[in-house]
Amino acid sequence: MIPSPIPEIVIVTGASSGIGAATARELARRGFHVLAGVRRDRDADALRGPGIEPLILDITHPEHIRALAARVQGDPQGRAVRALVNNAGVPVNVPVEVFPIDEWRRLFEVNLFGHVAVTQALLPALVRGKGRVINISSVGGRVAMATYGPYAGTKFALEAVSDALRREIAPSGVQVVVVEPGAVRTEMLGRAATTAQQLASTLTPEQGQRYGGLVQAIAAQTASATEWGVPAETAAQVIARAVTARKPRTRYTVGRDAALVTFMARILPDRMLDCVVAATLRPYFPKQSRSAH
């Protein structure tokens, strides 16, 4: 009887809920040993199961990243690392003018610099295992819609880093893949809508005149997406495909909306794309302000 092979390791950050948790479960179901980064003990207890080993991981804390690298390096079974799924992230829908600069820095720490730090720490193991880096971007990494400036800025940057890294480490046998979800029904969508509603109450009168209707429209559109967006399990299946495909594509989209928006971004001039995006958002504006948009 041939012994079953030792399962390879996959690291998934931001696995407390949503896409990350669904991805951890999907990869464990496919036979991988998943090191699932979570923020709290109760998240770890909820996720722990066959093939899933939760670890407390805040990707902005260097000591957490060092502990993760040590866990991988000292794996008791000497398992190879198949993939790092950089999934952790914070959603924000705020006009560029009103988002405090310190909050810009904090957002980039989580949505970009943390991913770079984890990738740097794990690249030696990924090179040894001929593994791959899966960066979870967003349709916002291809098109920056109104109030998505801060969030899209982090995702555009993540896409650029991914392109550079892919070209740098391809000779070492490590592949880099970007996954671009559109609307996915997760807690992140709900948090984004709540943040937008909270923001509306903090605008100055002048800012309220400029952005009040826009912020309300974005909140309404985001709330709508919780109904028609794809489930987290759909995103997890795409990510699992990126992990397991013999020759993965450099980019995958998740959901029809992401596929459509990225296609339009490739073929439409900027001004025409502006008009399409504005027309899509217009039905969500408060009635009294629709005429101005």
DSSP 231-255: EHHHHHHHHHHHHH-SS--SEEEES
User: What is the reported pLDDT for 197?
Assistant: 66
User: What is the reported pLDDT for 185?
Assistant: 86
With bands split at pLDDT 50, 70 and 90, how would you rate the model's confidence at 240? Answer: very high
29-44 tens-digit pLDDT: 999 999 999 999 999 9
With bands split at pLDDT 50, 70 and 90, how would you rate the model's confidence at 5? Answer: confident
User: What is the reported pLDDT for 221?
Assistant: 87
User: What is the reported pLDDT for 133?
Assistant: 98
What length is written for the chain?
293
User: What is the reported pLDDT for 289?
Assistant: 57
Of 52-66, 209-223, 279-293, which gets the smallest average pLDDT? 279-293
With bands split at pLDDT 50, 70 and 90, how would you rate the model's confidence at 3? Answer: very low
User: What is the reported pLDDT for 1?
Assistant: 38
What proportion of the chain, given as a percentage, has pLDDT over 90? 82
Instruction: Give ∠ CA 239-155-61 in degrees, rounded to 5.
Output: 85
Mean local confidence (pLDDT), 147-156? 96
Q: Residue 2 above 50 pLDDT?
A: no
Q: Residue 121 above 90 pLDDT?
A: yes
Which amino acid would we find at residue 30?
R
Report the mean per-residue pLDDT for the chain. 92
Task: Pick the closest to residue 188 from 257, 93, 119, 46 (CA basis).
Answer: 93
- For the chain, the structural domain boundaries read 9-185+230-268
Q: Residue 126 above 90 pLDDT?
A: yes
242 within 8 A of 252, measured Cβ to Cβ: yes
User: What is the reported pLDDT for 188?
Assistant: 72
User: What is the reported pLDDT for 292?
Assistant: 55
User: What is the reported pLDDT for 229?
Assistant: 86
Which amino acid would we find at residue 73?
Q
Topology annotation, domain 9-185+230-268? Rossmann fold (3.40.50)
Known catalytic residues are 151
Enumerate long-range contacts of 189-193, CB under 8 Å, 24 or more apart. 189/91, 189/222, 189/225, 189/226, 189/229, 190/226, 191/91, 192/91, 192/92, 192/93, 192/222, 193/219, 193/222, 193/223, 193/226
51-105 tens-digit pLDDT: 999 999 999 999 999 999 999 999 999 999 999 999 999 999 999 999 999 999 9
Instruction: Give ∠ CA 167-171-176 in degrees, rounded to 5.
Output: 45
Of 142-151, 175-184, 213-222, 257-266, which gets the smallest average pLDDT? 213-222
Q: Which two tokens stand for residue 152?
A: 């899209």
Of 161-170, 185-194, 215-224, which gets the smallest average pLDDT? 185-194
Rounded Cα distance, 89 and 110, in Å: 6
Mean local confidence (pLDDT), 118-141? 97
Q: Residue 122 above 70 pLDDT?
A: yes
Q: Residue 203 above 50 pLDDT?
A: yes
